[in-house]
Structure 1
Amino acid sequence: MATTGDRSRPGTVCALDSLDFALDRGSPVPLYHQFAQQLEAAIERGLLIPGNLLGNEIDLSTRLGLSRPTVRQAIQSLVDKGLLVRRRGVGTQVVHSRVKRPLELSSLYDDLETAGQAPTTRVLRNERVPATAEVAAALGLAEGAEVTALERLRFTHGRPVAYLCNHLPAGLLEPATARLESTGLYRVMRSAGITLHSARQTIGARTATTEEALLLDEHPGAALLTMHRTAYDDTGRAVEYAHHVYRASRYTFDFELLVRS
């Protein structure tokens, strides 16, 4: 049965007024879980964005035709996930959505855009520099060889989610800063005729430095996810070495595990 909020209630601004929730009262799935799942999906798709107010439990119960304990349990499950927050005198408010990304060779920008996360980018660095030993080894170059160094901050709904450092062999690509701020690096590479084929990737975790915390709107020592990746084109040439850090509070990797018989 489809239920909607009481859109005629005066004096109240509620982000749920523009949404419909299909709650099946005959389903074995508890109503609180149905509501929580659909509310989370609305946040993930960007239909509800950070700062949106959902109202208090009494208002939500009236709007949705659910009992107050049912609404409280649904809200608490999303508060526990960090998607909602309860504010005294204000009600329930959307905090942010967690970025879920498949564990495959894909562009963060493309994944965020597909998920309705409204990605934007700020380029912090775009210049040629001598390759360090680490970068040279990853790209198969001599230490000190010239490479293009890119540093970017990636945002979703105006909030930072990742700090991206990439190195490309010099002469492979000359990406304009304006272009990098309007789209993803892999799109730029594809438009230049570079066909990405495979990558070697390592995922880890550590705490944020003072500089990283400032960039990512976290506190020093906050948990970060890390990713090191070397990407190869269809000729087997290394075309990118990446070192990315992500806010663990807003980012997860999704992947499928298969059982070998």
Structure 2
Amino acid sequence: MKFSINHKSPVPLHIQAEELVRNIIKDPQYADGKFLPNEVDLAKQLAISRTTLRQALNKLVYEGLLIRKKGIGTKVAGASVSSKSNNWLSFSQEMQARGIPIRNFELHISWVTPDEQVANFFEISNTKKVLKLERLRGRLEGPFVYFVSYFHPRVGLTGDEDFKRPLYEVLEKDYSVIANLSKEEISAKAADKLIAGKLEIEPNEPVLFRKRFVYDQGDRPIEFNLGYYRADSFVYTIESRRE
């Protein structure tokens, strides 16, 4: 595909380059996840400097339309997954409601001694083991979220459950435990080596970190959940209505 810009136009070159790249993004040839032409080659083809081209690309990276990978190139970002705060569901239920096919890349189950934070939330001794569930999940083309869940021993999980099913469906249908209340803390943090490796990003790249405290109908704690999301693949939306 040939690209060009008008050097006689009064419109600044970087603005023209930005519009050109926006059109490239819409082309089926560069659909979700496809890499754009090499920066050096594209700058030569447009007869502009790499600095001018990069100014245009940086704008689109900032808007979340492009993803730049050092030493690899710049690619079109996939549509961000969105989660709303006023209608919380299990991850599987959220994605199913949005028609997004999800793949499980890793699933690990273990019994562990809880750290002080988990033990305090569950109001149990830190010598009493709890079930730990780790899941790496995402779109078909790659992972974008890593979950670590701990469950109160009272729930009755054994570790033999089919956790490919929606989590809260397992709790309700198999154990008559209904997740009724969720309290969440959301922050941004730099990915450590473990999280970066799981999410296929560079160490210290930003991730969205969501801590979820889940209670049953009696306001008793049942799950302590940590979620690490790729910043370029997930949007958390908050909907408020003034009474």
Contact map agreement 1:139 1:230 (CA 8 A) in 2: no
Report the 3-state secondary structure (helix = DSSP H, G, I; strand = E; otherwise coil) of the residue aligned with 2:239: coil
Contact map agreement 2:111 2:130 (CA 8 A) in 1: yes
Mapped pair 1:174 → 2:153: no
Match of 1:149 among 112, 115, 132: 132
Name the counterpart of 2:177: 194
Match of 2:223 among 240, 249, 255: 240
TM-superposed CA distance for 1:122, in Å, is: 3.2
Report the 3-state secondary structure (helix = DSSP H, G, I; strand = E; otherwise coil) of the residue aligned with 1:218: coil
TM-superposed CA distance for 1:83, in Å, is: 4.1
Instruction: Map 1:245-256 onto structure 2 (within 5 A).
Output: 245-256=228-239
Instruction: Map 1:72-151 onto structure 2 (within 5 A).
Output: 81-83=63-65, 94-104=76-86, 105-151=88-134
- Distance, in Å, in 1 between the alignment partners of 2:35 and 2:160 is 35
- Distance, in Å, in 2 between the alignment partners of 1:186 and 1:158 is 26
Report the 3-state secondary structure (helix = DSSP H, G, I; strand = E; otherwise coil) of the residue aligned with 1:249: coil
Which amino acid is 1:237 matched to?
A: R
Name the counterpart of 2:195: 212
- Distance, in Å, in 2 between the alignment partners of 1:158 and 1:183 is 21
- Distance, in Å, in 2 between the alignment partners of 1:247 and 1:224 is 5
Aligned length: 191
- Distance, in Å, in 2 between the alignment partners of 1:107 and 1:51 is 30
Q: CA RMSD in A?
A: 3.1
- Distance, in Å, in 2 between the alignment partners of 1:250 and 1:110 is 18
Report the 3-state secondary structure (helix = DSSP H, G, I; strand = E; otherwise coil) of the residue aligned with 1:196: coil
Name the counterpart of 1:56: none
Question: CA-to-partner distance for each residue in 1:103-147, whole Å, 9 max, x for gaps?
Answer: 143112211222222112234420111121111111121222120
Contact map agreement 1:123 1:150 (CA 8 A) in 2: no
Change (3 A) 1:233 1:222: same
- Distance, in Å, in 2 between the alignment partners of 1:52 and 1:194 is 46
Contact map agreement 2:77 2:232 (CA 8 A) in 1: no
Identity of aligned residues (%): 23
Name the counterpart of 1:203: 186
- Distance, in Å, in 2 between the alignment partners of 1:108 and 1:228 is 14
Structure 2 gaps of 5+ residues are: 2-18, 37-57, 69-73
Change (3 A) 1:171 1:235: closer
Change (3 A) 1:204 1:93: closer
Contact map agreement 1:83 1:98 (CA 8 A) in 2: no
Question: CA-to-partner distance for each residue in 1:206-230, whole Å, 9 max, x for gaps?
Answer: 1111111111011111111111111
Mapped pair 1:184 → 2:166: yes
Q: TM-score, normalised by structure 2?
A: 0.67
TM-superposed CA distance for 1:175, in Å, is: 4.3
- Distance, in Å, in 1 between the alignment partners of 2:225 and 2:67 is 34
TM-superposed CA distance for 1:158, in Å, is: 2.8
Spell out structure 1 runs of 4+ moving beyond 3 A: 48-53, 76-86, 92-95
Name the counterpart of 2:240: 257
Which amino acid is 1:197 matched to?
A: N
- Distance, in Å, in 2 between the alignment partners of 1:52 and 1:112 is 26
Name the counterpart of 2:52: none
Which amino acid is 2:217 matched to?
A: D
